[in-house]
């Protein structure tokens, strides 16, 4: 990690209790997200809405299923356009790699290698897209700032990318809660990174022990 103040263990701890405290809500919203994803066209706005709900619960704001549905409508056009831009950029990078490889020669290999690493950086930077988007609801700023955050916090971003890839795998085998875990962890981790630039943003981890899971009535 690039900064000793960044703590993934703290982010995991907050994520666990955040999802635990809103388990019923997150399961229902996760199922709604899964249904929206089947339509494909609703996937970007449903994902943005889920990330926004995760952010609101992380900062102790009231949320409802109705708010999740309203946010889908609110984010529909901008999130769809943002996703199209990301898809086009991904296609162009892959196309250029194939083009340079077919071009052949030393310069072809060099340019293909450079483009490949640009592709790697681009893919990793996408972990910041929705956390940024759900804070500012803009299109171009998340693209720009996600790349800046990656450059400034590369090792942290790489660790976060690996963790989020693992949680996406959890979503594939446990569709009732996996995406909610991913979005909550992404938002809590993003707050850790934000604290580098603004120390007032960090939210302290809840002083709670896992034995509360066994006897929750003793901690109410």
Residues 111-128 have pLDDT tens digits of 999 999 999 999 999 999
CA atoms within 13 A on the CB side of 159: 16
Summary mean pLDDT of the chain? 87
pLDDT of residue 4: 47
pLDDT of residue 171: 82
Whole-model pTM: value is 0.87
pLDDT for residue 54: 95
Span 194-201, mean pLDDT? 76
Helical ranges in the chain per DSSP H: 8-21, 23-38, 43-58, 65-103, 105-125, 129-136, 140-152, 154-173, 178-197
Band the pLDDT of 214: cuts 50, 70, 90. low
DSSP state of 72: H
State the Cα–Cα distance between residues 92 and 132, nearest whole angstrom. 23
Q: Is 139 exposed, middle or buried (0-12, 13-18, 19+ CB in 10 A)?
A: middle
Task: Decide if 199 contacts 37 (C-beta within 8 A).
Answer: no
User: Please, which pLDDT band fits residue 135 given cuts at 50, 70 and 90?
Assistant: confident
pLDDT at 170 exceeding the cut of 50? yes
Task: State the Cα–Cα distance between residues 138 and 154, nearest whole angstrom.
Answer: 24
State the pLDDT at residue 3.
45
- Report angle CA 199, 202, 205 to the nearest 5 degrees: 140
The pLDDT of residue 2: 43
Sign of CA dihedral 95, 130, 204, 64: negative
CA torsion 97-120-137-80 (nearest 10°) is 40
Q: Is the CA virtual torsion 90, 95, 96, 97 positive or negative?
A: positive
Q: Measured between alpha carbons, how far is 11 from 125 in angstroms, rounded to an integer?
A: 19
Confidence bin at 213 (pLDDT 50/70/90): low
The stretch 25-52 carries a mean pLDDT of 94
**Better-scored residue on pLDDT, 7 or 132:** 132
Residue 100, pLDDT > 70, answer yes
The confidence score (pLDDT) of residue 173 equals: 85
What does the H/E/C string look like for 169-209?
A: HHHHHCCCCHHHHHHHHHHHHHHHHHHHHCHHHCCCCCCCC
pLDDT band at 10 (very low <50, low <70, confident <90, very high): confident
């Amino acid at each position: 990690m690039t900064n000793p103040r960044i703590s993934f263990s703290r982010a995991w701890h907050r994520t666990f209790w955040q999802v635990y405290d809103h388990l019923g809500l997150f399961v229902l919203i996760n199922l709604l997200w899964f249904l929206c994803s089947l339509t494909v066209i609703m996937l970007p706005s449903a994902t943005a809405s889920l990330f926004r709900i995760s952010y609101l619960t992380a900062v102790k704001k009231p949320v409802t299923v109705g708010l999740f549905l309203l946010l889908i409508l609110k984010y529909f056009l901008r999130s769809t356009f943002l996703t199209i831009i990301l898809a086009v950029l991904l296609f162009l990078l892959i196309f250029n790699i194939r083009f340079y490889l077919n071009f052949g020669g030393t310069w072809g290999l060099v340019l293909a290698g450079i483009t490949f690493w640009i592709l790697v950086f681009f893919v990793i930077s996408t972990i910041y897209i929705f956390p940024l988007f759900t804070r500012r609801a803009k299109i171009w700023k998340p693209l720009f700032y996600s790349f800046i955050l990656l450059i400034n916090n590369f090792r942290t971003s790489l660790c976060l990318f690996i963790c989020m890839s693992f949680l996406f795998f959890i979503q594939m085998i446990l569709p009732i809660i996996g995406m909610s875990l991913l979005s909550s962890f992404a938002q809590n981790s993003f707050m850790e990174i934000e604290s580098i630039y603004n120390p007032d943003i960090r939210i302290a981890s809840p002083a709670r022990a896992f034995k509360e899971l066994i006897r929750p009535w003793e901690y109410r």
